[in-house]
Amino acid sequence: MWLQGGSTLIIGVIFSYWLTHFSPWARDGLVTENAFLRAELSRLQATSCKTEMAEHSAAVTTILRDQLERRDRNVEDLTAKLANCTNTTLTQAAECGTPFHAMPPYQPHKMREVLDWESFDRGFVYSWRRYWRVNGHQGNLRKELQEAITASKQYLPAKDYAWQHGQFQLDTRRGITYLMDFEQKNQGSKKFERIRMFRPISSVVFPHPVETGSNQQNRTLHMVVTLQGRSAACAKFLEQLKNVAHAAGDPPFRLTLVYFIDESSPDDVALKEVEQLLKSSEQSYGLRFTLITKREAFSRGKGLQYGATDGAVSTRLPGAAEDVLSFMDIDMVFSREYLYRCRANAEAGASIYFPIPFSLFKGTNATVTHDNGDWRTYGLGMVCISQSDFAASAGYNTKITGWGREDVDFYERMLKNASLQVMRAIDEGLVHRWHPKHCNDSELSPDQHQDCIQSKADWEGDKLYLSRQLSKYREKYGEM
């Protein structure tokens, strides 16, 4: 009987050890294991053992008590480490490990699947996929790289080393790997030292309650567009609204078009054509619109301000989410998904959306490919913002006339607003059609004229596109 009872208890202890160290449930952590040990200890202490089992039970109880004390100390150490994990400095990152560290390294199977390494020196980050040279260390990236350099210095074998160069690779499942190269500062032969570091990614954290954004999607989207002449472009713009903003089940949408009458032409034919196109769209698919006409020199900043304050009248019902202003260009092609993101990313009192559109080269179609165009990273004219946030910002600077600069001024003022997160992201649902651009230096300031010329040159095509066009020209007409 003693052997039978003792063997049963030993088997139980072995099973406990397997359960807490090697089973799939072991990842639930030390706390779960401690709870099991406490329960087993309580059971043994509460059991009225027979005389022949007393010594054995006491020994096993002592073993379990020792294990429990060790586990308690481990939990205390782990708790102390996790308490420091609110500080996200690189030097503490290794102390804040998560289950993600157990993930195996990413294994690519095709050339395009290989994770990029990006290089950086004292002034620039070099990346072939984005740009061959990013213009300086900016914002959060600057802080991140400087922190990595500082953290790596503590592992050098001596203090007379100077940092020379760095590389980093981001694995979105595991973390960031850094390679830091230092050169010893002596007069003799050069000696280099490399420090390799890893900054892990912490576990995914969900807000409570989890934000779904569904409450943002029934808000009226007021799209504001400025125009002078160009009735053909207006026709294309209105045609796409039929498909992406007025299908069955689409959220409320309203267009405000601000038209600047050509002062040199007393009878503006294009205006009459635009009026007819708007009325036709209203009859065809129920477009809700407001047309504002201004007899003055064209100014996009003034036009957007007129549209936001005079045309985009709030339609919000009591208790409903606030309406959204979308500042748009007449030459943009956009998708239904873009309108969704426009509403979702313009949260009153919290965020404002400056999407980065894809801009087409001359003679290409509206497909997002490397050959057809590139991302308009300096373009800030497309904006999604709640009506109250726009009103609080004082809107656009109406003293800026002509082409450009009003968007840069507005963007920079939004960056200074600590209560709003400026969201800047590439958006494949927003494409800018190529169109002729006229840079009249008599109507523009020197800075505006330079910007206009630069923009005009950029979208003739990139180096590869222009080289192909030149090759076709040479094949047809011979060498020049």
Q: Which residues contact 53 (CB under 8 A, 6 or more apart)?
A: 2, 5, 6
Pairwise CA distance, residues 171 & 261, whole Å: 54
CB 1, CB 9: distance < 8 Å: no
Helix, strand or coil, per DSSP, at residue 127: strand
Rg value, the chain, Cα: 33
Q: Are strands 192-200 and 175-184 parallel, antiparallel or unpaired?
A: antiparallel
DSSP letter at 433 equals P
DSSP letter at 79 equals H
CB 105, CB 171: distance < 8 Å: yes
The torsion region of residue 115 among left (phi > 0), alpha (psi -120 to 50) and beta comes to: beta
Per-residue pLDDT of the chain (480 residues; tens, 9 = 90+): 444 445 554 555 455 554 454 444 444 444 555 666 666 666 666 655 555 556 666 766 777 777 777 766 666 665 565 555 544 445 444 445 444 444 566 676 766 677 878 888 887 787 765 544 444 456 677 888 888 999 999 988 888 889 988 989 888 888 888 999 998 877 666 778 889 998 887 666 655 554 555 556 678 899 999 999 889 999 999 999 988 888 767 788 999 999 999 777 766 789 999 999 999 999 999 999 999 999 888 889 999 999 998 877 666 656 556 789 999 999 999 998 899 899 989 989 989 999 988 888 877 777 777 778 888 877 889 999 999 999 999 899 888 776 667 888 999 899 888 888 899 888 888 999 885 665 666 665 666 656 656 655 555 556 666 677 777 777 777 765
